[in-house]
Homo-oligomer: A and B are copies of this chain.
Amino acid sequence: MAEPHDAPRDLTRNQGLVLGTLNRSSAPLSAYDILDKLREEGLRAPLQVYRALDKLVERGLAHRLESLNAFVACADAHCHRKGLIAFAICERCGRVDEFADEVIEERLSGWAANTGFKTERTTMEIRGQCAECLKAAA
């Protein structure tokens, strides 16, 4: 059975294990969740996971969800997503939708230009309930 999408070939063993775990999960995972799933593979310490996550996030293969202190694999198979990414997080099923919006990006960079702020990183996270969970709850 194939992964949701192929991983780059130049990942280290730990990075590959961590990314694989994220890809197999339908919900965000904390570093400790990941560690627990990888004990069989020989991982023992949080740092092993955090180091791998740092690299994956740096390369855009995974994202950190600040409001959850958790991580997801990037939804874009080839990870060419540029610019601002917004996340919609369902608090019921844990599902995360990733989307980009150029208008929002323009507004933010406009604000930054006006105030002389130099943006380095932006996080945008919407919490709520996804359509499916709303239907199921009805």
Contacts and interface: CB of A to CB of B under 8 A. Distances in A.
Interface string A83-111: 00010101100000101010110011001
Number of copies: 2
Interface residues of A, number: 33
Interface stretch (A4-12, A32-40, A116-124): A116-124
Contacts of A121: 126-128
A66 B127 CA distance: 12
A123 B125 contact: yes
B123 A67 contact: yes
B107 A101 contact: yes
Interface of A: 66-67, 86, 88, 90-91, 97, 99, 101, 103-104, 107-108, 111-112, 115-131, 134
Given A67-B123, A116-B130, 6 more contacts: A88-B112, A112-B128, A122-B125, A122-B126, A124-B124, A124-B125
